[in-house]
Structure 1
Amino acid sequence: MSRFPLLGSCLLLLFMIVVVQDVNGRREWQKPRRKREWVVPPPLLMEHKDYTKRAFIAKVRSDKEQPTERLLYYLHGHGADQPPINLFVVNQTSGFVRITDILDREVMQNYTLYASVRFARNMTLAEDHLTMSIRVTDINDQAPIFQESGLPTGSVYESSSKGTVATQVSATDADEPGTTNADLRYEIIKQEPESKPRMFDIEPKTGEIKVNRPTLDREMQNTYALTVKATDLGGAASGRTGTGTVSIKILDINDNRPVLTNATYSGQIQENAVGVEVMRFKATDADEVDTDNWRAKFQILSGNEDGIFSMETDHETNEGVLTVTKPVDYETMKEINLEVAVDNEAEYEFGKGAGRGKRRKKYPVNIKVQNMPDGPRFVPNTKTISVSEDKDKITVPMLLTDYAAVDEDSGEIAKNVRYAKIYDPAGWIAVDSETGQIKLTRVPDRESRNVVDGVYYAKVLCMTDDLPSKSVTGTIAIAVEDVNDHCPQLTTSYQDLCLEDTAVYVTAHDEDGLINSLPLTFQLLSEGTTGSWNMARFNDTTVVLTAKDFLQPGTHKVAFEVRDSLGYACTEPEVLELTACLCAGDRACVREDPRMSPDVGVKSGHGSFAGPAIGILVGALLLLLLVPLLLLACSSGSGLLAKKFVSLPFETSNGHLIPSHTEGKGEDKEGARDTKKEKE
C-alpha cells in the first residue's frame, strides 16, 4: 500500500517538470524578432530638384548584421537594375542609397525598390525583398494644352437665348491630377469679329461656351472664332497658361419672310386656254439658300374660287408659276383679279432677323382675258335618252335624238362642222356626219356587259373645217328600260355533296333588274327528281336542300321550277345534279382510281362488265377441270361415254368476246342544256 503514494508523488513531479519546460519554451518562442528595416526611410523627392550632391537619400540594414559577420547590400527594380538603370545606387557595405540624376514626375511618379542582403563570406542570401517606395512630388512645370479633340466646332441657332450652350472646350495638364497644379480655369480672351459685349461667354470651371447676348443673327454674321485660354493653379496670375481657338457656327432659323420682287402683277390669257403658264413670281429671302427656310411656297388667297388657276413652285429657280387649269369664256369673264402670297416650306419664327414681326404680304394680280374665236360646243355636254329593250317597242334603225353642236360666239347651230362617233363599244348608234343626228342601229340589251347601272354610254366628236381645226366631245347616255326578258336559272347545274353533310345550298340568278327579278321563288318538281328532299328558303336567291332519307353514294337529280317576282319562269325545269361522295380533308370528293375503271379492269360493284366477267371466268375454270376426266374416260374405252361425247357446235380453239359498252351513257340520256345567254 505504501507504493502508491510514492508513485503518485513521482508522477506529480514529472508533470511539474514538463509544465515548467513548456512555459520556458513558450517564452523563448515569444521573444520579439528584430524587424528588418530601412534605418533612414526614403524622403519625398521633388521633381527637377538636384539630389545628386547628397551623400545618401536613404539607408538600409539587415537585422542579421553582426560585428563578426560582414553583409553585402544590393538594389533591384525600376531605377536600379531595371530602366532607368542606376538612377538609384546602394553602397554594398554601408547600405547607403544615393540618387544619380534629376527626377521628372511626368516621366515616373513612383519608384518601388527592393533590397537584398548576402553574407560576404559565402554570398549566400541573408535577407530578401526589403521594400523601399520613393514618391516624386509634383511642381507646376506643365502648361495646359488644348488638343484637337478638346476644341470641337460649336454651333448654335441664331436668336438663341442667353445661356444656350454652343459647345464645350477641354484642356489637359500633365501635372498631378487633383492638385492646384492641374486645377484649370477657362476664359475667352478674343472674339472674331469682336463685339462689345462679346456674343459668347465661358464657364470658368467646365469650359462650356454659352450665348452671352440673344441677338445672334446669321444673316449678319454666320461664324465666330473664339480664342480660349486655360490657366492652372485655379486661374491664379502665377499659373501656367495654354490657348486654343474654337469656331462657332451660327445656324439658320426662318426669321425672314420671302419677298416678291414686284408690288403688283398683271398678265393676260386667251379664252379657253388650258394648261398655259400665265406668269412667274420671283421671290427673295435672306435665310440660308437651299433650305426649307429659303424655299418659297406660293398660295392664291382670293379670286380663284372657281379653280381656274393653280400656282406651284419651280424648285429649280424657286419661282412661283401661275398656270390656267380651266378654260375661261370671254363672254362671261373678261378680267380676273387674284391676290397671292408667298411663304417658306418651314414655319416662320419670330426671331431677331430683318423679318421679325412682319405680317405676310398680299400681292394683287390682274389677269386680262383675250377674246378668241370660239369653237362648237355640245349643249348639254351629256345628253340622256331613255329607250326600252322590248323588241316589240323598238324598230331599228330609228332616230334617237338630234345632237347638233352650237357656236359659242353666236349661240346658233354650228356651221362648217363634221360629226363622228369616237366611242360606241357595242355598236348601238350611228351619227350623221353633217347634221349630228343620232340613230339607234341595234335593239338595246340592258343585260349587256357594256351597260353600267342601266345606262349605255357613247361619245360623239364635232370638228370644225377650218385650220387649225377646233373640236368638242359630247356624250350620249342611253338609259335602257328593263323588260322581263330573262328567266331565272341556277347558277350551277352540278354540285358535290359530302355524305356527312346535311344540306346543300341552291342558288339561282335572274339577269333582269331588281323590279323584274327578286325575290325568286323555288318549287320542287317530282318529275325529274330522284330521292326525297326537303327545301327551305334561305334568302331572295337561295334555298337550302336536305335529303329526307339516308343519302346513298352516287348521282342524284333534283328538278326545280324557279320563278321571278313577276311569276316568270323558264319553259324547261332547272335540274341540279348532286354527286354524293366521301370527302377528303379539303371537303373535296374522293374520286375513283382511274386504273380501276371498267375500261381497264374489273372493279367490284361498278360497271356492267364485272358480273358477266366473273361468271365467264368461273365457267372456264370448271370446263378445264372437266376436260381431263373426259379424256380419261375416252382412253379407258368407255363406250357409253364415247357414244355420248359429241362435238361442240363451234370451234373451241378460237375464243370470242362479245364487245360490251354498257358503262357509257344510255341512249335515253341527253346532254346538259346550256341555259347561259351570251352577253354582248
Structure 2
Amino acid sequence: MCHHPKTICANEYFFLELLFMILLWLFSNDANGVPLRRSKRGWMWNQFFLLEEYTGTDMQYVGKLHSDGDRGDGSVRYVLTGEGAGTLFKIDEKSGDIHATKRLDREEKAYYILHAKAINRFTNEALEGESEFIIKIHDINDNEPRFTKDPYIATVPEMSEIGTSVIQVTATDADDATYGNSARVVYSILEGQPYFSVDPETGLIKTALPGMDREVKEHYQVVIQAKDMAGQMGGLSGTTTVSITLSDVNDNPPRFTKSLYDFKVPESTELGSAVGVIRANDADINANAEMDYRIIGSDGPGMFDISTNKSTQEGVIVLRKPLDFERKRQYSLRIQVDNVHVSPRFFSMGPFRDEATVKIQVEDVDEPPVFERSSYVMEVKEDAARNTAIGSVSASDPDGVRSPVRYSIDRRTDMDRVFNIHAGNGSVFILRQLDREESAWHNISIIATEFNNPRQISRVPVYIRVLDINDNAPTFATNYETFVCENAKANQRIQTVSATDPDEPVGGHRFFFSLAHEASGKANFSVRDNKDNTAWILTRRNSYNSLQKSTYLVPVVISDGEFPMQSSTNTLTVRVCTCDREGNMKLCNAEALTGRAGLSTGALVAILLCVIILLMIVVLFAALRRQRKKEPLIISKEDVRDNVVSYNDEGGGEEDTQAFDIGTLRNPEAIEESKQRRDIVPETFYPPVRRPAPPPARDNNNGDVRDFINQRLQENDSDPTAPPYDSLATYAYEGNGSVAESLSSLESVTTEGDQDYNYLSEWGPRFKKLADMYGGDDSDRDS
C-alpha cells in the first residue's frame, strides 16, 4: 500500500519536510557522484501530521490512504485500526480519506499508531499486507511558563556586595521544547529594582544595590516573569513572587541610653542584692545584640559587681560588701559595655563598645547596736564566789545620733540563771556556785538594745569556760574484788589497782598509793606504789586459812599531787580461797562463790528451765490421773442423786403420736428388758427378773397405767442392781386429746363427771418424794 500524492499536498508540514529531503538528496553526492555519508534521521515516509488545538467547525483532514489494487470501481474497502481508530480518527471506506473527529492536545498525547488494510469488498480478501503508520501532533504555543514555587522565600545578609546570589527561580513550559521556541523561557524582573536583578537564562536572582541595611528596611518583595518564545512578542508568560529578607549582621555597636546613672541604696541593703539596673541599646538582633557589662573603674574597689541578664541584655549592679553611711556616703563606678560577637569585617566602623558613669548614694538607716567583737570568751574558776565579775561586753550605736545601749542576757540560753549582766556597762557576773565537773562550758547570748529605739537589738555569743581547781579526791578506777590462795607465799601480788579523778590538772594526773596508817601495824597485805598511777597489792605472810578468816579488808589511801592535795581511803575486799598448785581457785566460801566462783548466768537459767519442766510434767500427770476417773452420768444441782429427764415438748395427750408412744405404757411386753446401769458397777451380777405378763387391760386406760406403775415399783424394789435413787421422766407437752383428761385438782373442781384417783394412793411414799421434788402437790401434776 502507498500514500496518495494528494495527501502530501494537503499537509503543509509534510510537504515542507519532503522538499527538504529532496534538496538534501541532491546535495548529498560529491563531484564524482559518490553519495556523501550522513547521520541517520528519524524520518518516516508513512507519517501523517496534525496540528493540535484545531478550532475549525469541520472535521480536520488528516490524509488519504490508497492501494495500487484500487481501480476506482468501488470494490475496495479501507479499514482503519489502532489507537483512536473509530473514535478520534475515522476513515472513508471507499475513498480512504482520514479525518480527526476531536480537537487534540499534544501535551496530552504526542502521537498515535494506527494500522490500515485494503480488503476486497466482495470476497473480504486482503489486497495486500497490513500497513502501519503514525499520526504525529504538531505543537503550537498553547502553554504559558509555570514556576515551580509561588512564592519563593529567600534571605541574604545585609550589607552584601553587588552580585551576591540570593536564590534561583525555575519555570517550566509544557510545550514541545524540540520544536520551535514555544518552550524557550526567558526571565525578567518586574518589581524589585534597583535592589535586585535576575539572570534571563538561569533565573538566578542577585543583589543589585550595595549597602542594603536591615535596620533601614528588612523585607523586600520581588516579582519575576518567565516568558516563552524566547521573550518575543506573542509569547506566553507567567510570574512568581520572591520574598527576600535581609539577615542581620553585627554592624551596630551598643549604646547607653544616657551617660550618667544615679541610684540610691539604703546602708542596710543585704549582700548580693541588686542596687541598680542599666541598659544599652543595640540595633542588631539575636546573637549580634548580645552584650557584656563590666566595671572598669570604681572609688570603692570590690564593693560592687555587675552581671548581664541574658534574657533582657541589661546590666545588673550587685552589692558585694556591706554599706556604711557613716563611713562613706557615695560611690562612683565606670561601666563599659561590649558586643559579645564582633565581625572583623566591620572593625573599620570603629570600636563596638560604649561607656557610662554610675553614681550610687548610700542612705542612712537606723541600725542596731554593734558589738566590738563578733564573740566573747570568758574564764572563771569553779570556786569563784557569787556576784564575781568574770568579764564584760561592749556595744555602741553606729548611727550619727548616738543612742545609749542597754544590755541583757537572753534567758533562753541561760535558763538556770547562772549568770547576769549589768544593764549599763555590760559587766558579766555569776549568780551561783559553779562546778566544772558538772559543766565545763556555758554558752550564753547577750542582747544589746538601743535605749531610744528598743526595736533595734543585736546579739553576741559569749562562751564562758569554767577553770578547774583540785576539789575532788582520787578513787579506785573500778570496784575491785580479788582473792588470795590459802597456800599463798609472802610478797605475792594478788591485784593491780589504778585510780581516777574527775579533776583535770594541767600537767596530767599523778597518784600516790599507800596502806592506811591505822592498818599498817597488823596488816596481812601491803601496797606497793608503781610510780605510774598504779599499785600492787602484795601478801605479807605465807599462808591463810579460810576457816579462821574468810575475808580481809585492805584500806588503800590514794592521794593526788595537786594543790591543795586531795586524798581518799578505798577499801579492797580480799577473799580467801582454796587453790591448786598453779594458783587457780578451786573452792571459796559462800560469799566468794557468789562473788567470784559462782555459777554463770547461763547455768542459772538452765537450772531454772529444768525446774519449770519438771513442774509441768507433775501437773500434767495429775491431770491425766484425774481424767481417768469416770464422771457420774448426771450431776444434780442439789446433789439429791435424782435423775430428772425433761422434755420441753408438752405433747398432745394420748392421741398425739408425735410426742411419744403411749403404747409402750399399755403393752408391758414391748417394754425393753431391764439393763444394767453403766454408771454403777455392781459387785455381783444379778440377772434381771422376768415378771409375768399383767392381766388383760381393763375397759378404761387408767387401769393400764396403774398396772404399769405397780410392776415397775415391784421390779425396782426387788432388783439389787437398781440405783439407790428414783428416776422421774416428765413430759412438758400436754397435748390436746388425752382421754385421761387432766389430773389437776383444779380441773376436778369444775368437772361435773367423776374421776377415779384411787390409783394414785397405790404409789406409796416413793411417789410422794418424787412429787415433793417436782415442786408441788401430786394433785397438781398432769399425767
- Report the TM-score when normalising by structure 1: 0.50
Identify the structure with bigger relative contact order (alpha carbons < 8 Å, sequence gap 6+): 1
TM-score, scaled to structure 2:
0.44
